[in-house]
Amino acid sequence: MGLGSGRHGSESRFATYVETLATALGHADRGAPFRSYCTGLLLPGRRKSVEPMAARVAPAQVQAKHQSLHHLVAKADWSDEAVLRVVRQQVLPAIERHGAIRAWIIDDTAFPKKGTHSVGVARQYCGQLGKQDNCQVAVSLSVTNDHASLPIAYRLYLPQAWANDPDRRRRAGVPDDVTFQTKPQIALGQIKSALQAGMSAAAVLMDAGYGVDTGLRDGITELGLCYVAGIQSSTSVWAPGTAPKPPKRWSGNGCPPKLIRRDAARKPVSAKELALSLPKQQWHRVTWREGSNTKLTSRFTAVRVRPAHRDYNRTSPRPEEWCLIEWPKGEAEPTKYWLSTLPADVPLRDLGDLAKLRWRIERDYQELKQELGLGHYEGRGWRGFHHHATLTIAAYGFLITESSAIPPSAAPIFKTPALPHGYRPRGSPYPT
């Protein structure tokens, strides 16, 4: 039953859902504002920050509701990890009714911000703007199958300028145990935590922003997981049938040489050079899923290579893995490249299909931002930033359990109360 045709049933299920999640908040008096906050996120509205949500959920008591919601999100000391764990317990069964989890997806998302006082704001690459600008960036780990996906971990990236500034850390409430970590290091920590929590293992998907990090790929392998990692066309690999030279013969003096070598005659090539050297018959048409109007297809090939990044510091070559390459018909050159440690006998179609499954995280972020207000939090502190994200993910999880149409504005769960007469959001030049 869809939300639009079963509002009363949806409201009842929502009440049960948030009551279950509220058990992770630590205090019973947080349950009511928790429900109000999640309700406000699901109600239609242009802004999903505290003040306009307070006006929507309690139009007769805006000030009191505002204080209650603000305390819950900005001040209350509850665990984001504990709430997300219960979200996962409630939502994953609904996802897995449509098939086992196929992949874990690493990604990040950015939020443009004016000024420099909000926690983690720095001049860095902002995907939403497509350029360097002032923004916050958060790293996430999602689990997915062909039906739906759910973020299970979410953490703000704290640039070094913030991590090393005691005054700004104190004002923003950054915990003492939070130190500078690169985005790949944050992602690897999220993967380790997911395994420790008993999550069923799956292949890890990532774009080239993470896939080029050799340490991250090695860390995933050490954890016993496979990956499909986007890489740049310049990434160096040993082509099929080639390998580094063995260590030099020992002369009998000093320590025996241990490091593998390369020279002008035996050296790696870039992924692009490899792709352009392959014969036409090695490229195959692959269909990976149904699009909105047609099947999504492209030309792919996959060859066994050895990653070569700084392997002259190693005592042995890296193991072979797949280099998957996409070259759409009509393009002058290949457009995308991946390295993958999936088994050597995996069919090309399955390899391409899994690489393309990363689109799910883009859908997550689109809905979380545009419909549920992931980026609408207006506070400046570490706690509020993460609490708002956790509550947004909790609301998104409920939509998944309902198996209904997203966005929620297309089929509202709740009847939206009328705003109080003359209500004017902060910064608005006229009442709305």
Per-residue pLDDT tens over the stretch 338-375 = 999 999 999 999 999 999 999 989 888 999 999 999 99
Preceding amide of 407 cis, omega within 30? yes
Q: Does one domain contain both 350 and 393? A: no
Q: Does one domain contain both 276 and 145? A: no
Domain count, the chain: 2
User: Which residue range is the domain that position 313 belongs to?
Assistant: 208-243+259-357
Is 90 exceeded by the pLDDT of residue 425? no
Report long-range pairs for 282-288 (Cβ below 8 Å, ≥24 apart).
283/327, 284/348, 286/348, 286/349, 286/352, 286/353, 287/349, 288/349, 288/352, 288/353, 288/356
> Measured between alpha carbons, how far is 350 from 355 in angstroms, rounded to an integer?
9
pLDDT tier for residue 429 given thresholds of 50, 70 and 90: very low
Q: Which residues pair with 301 in a beta bridge?
A: 325
Q: Does one domain contain both 233 and 271? A: yes
Task: Read off the amino acid at residue 78.
Answer: W
Is-contact 57 39, C-beta < 8 A? yes
Q: Does one domain contain both 68 and 164? A: yes
Residue 141 included in any domain: yes
Mean pLDDT of 219-234: 98
Helix (H, G, I), strand (E, B) or coil at 384: helix
Residue 423 included in any domain: no
> Measured between alpha carbons, how far is 396 from 139 in angstroms, rounded to an integer?
17
Residue 419 included in any domain: no
Task: Please provide residue 104's backbone torsions phi and psi, each rounded to the nearest 5 degrees.
Answer: -105, 140
Q: Does one domain contain both 66 and 163? A: yes
Q: Does one domain contain both 153 and 284? A: no
Is 60 exceeded by the pLDDT of residue 21? yes
DSSP string, 306-370: EE-TTGGGSSSPPPPEEEEEE--TT-SS--EEEEE-S-TT--HHHHHHHHHTTHHHHHHHHHHHH
Q: Classify 403 in phi/psi space as left (phi over 0), alpha (psi -120 to 50) or beta.
A: left
Q: Which two tokens stand for residue 361?
A: 């995280």
Helix (H, G, I), strand (E, B) or coil at 122: strand
Q: Which pLDDT score, from 0 to 100, does residue 128 have?
A: 81
> Measured between alpha carbons, how far is 1 from 229 in angstroms, rounded to an integer?
38
Q: Does one domain contain both 268 and 222? A: yes
Instruction: Look at the alpha carbons of 198, 289, 284, 230 in this order and tell me if their dihedral is positive or negative.
Output: negative
Mean pLDDT of 260-289: 94
Q: Does one domain contain both 175 and 315? A: no
Nearest in space to 56 (alpha carbons), one of 419, 412, 410, 409: 419
Q: Does one domain contain both 313 and 400? A: no
Strands 149-156 and 321-326 turn out to be: unpaired
pLDDT tier for residue 10 given thresholds of 50, 70 and 90: confident
Residue 139 included in any domain: yes
What is the rounded end-to-end Cα distance, in angstroms, of the chain?
A: 34
Q: Does one domain contain both 181 and 297? A: no
Task: Please provide residue 396's backbone torsions phi and psi, each rounded to the nearest 5 degrees.
Answer: -65, -40
pTM of the model: 0.90
Q: Does one domain contain both 235 and 300? A: yes
Residues 100-117 have pLDDT tens digits of 999 999 999 999 998 888
Is-contact 110 419, C-beta < 8 A? no
Residue 77 included in any domain: yes
Q: Which of 357, 392, 422 is the last residue of a domain?
A: 357
> Measured between alpha carbons, how far is 42 from 60 in angstroms, rounded to an integer?
19
Residues 311-336 have pLDDT tens digits of 999 999 999 999 999 999 999 999 99
Residue 192 included in any domain: yes
> Measured between alpha carbons, how far is 30 from 76 in angstroms, rounded to an integer?
8
Mean pLDDT estimate for the chain: 91
Residue 146 included in any domain: yes
Residue 420 included in any domain: no
Q: Which pLDDT score, from 0 to 100, does residue 346 have?
A: 97
Residues 51-64 have pLDDT tens digits of 999 999 999 999 99
Q: Does one domain contain both 75 and 174? A: yes
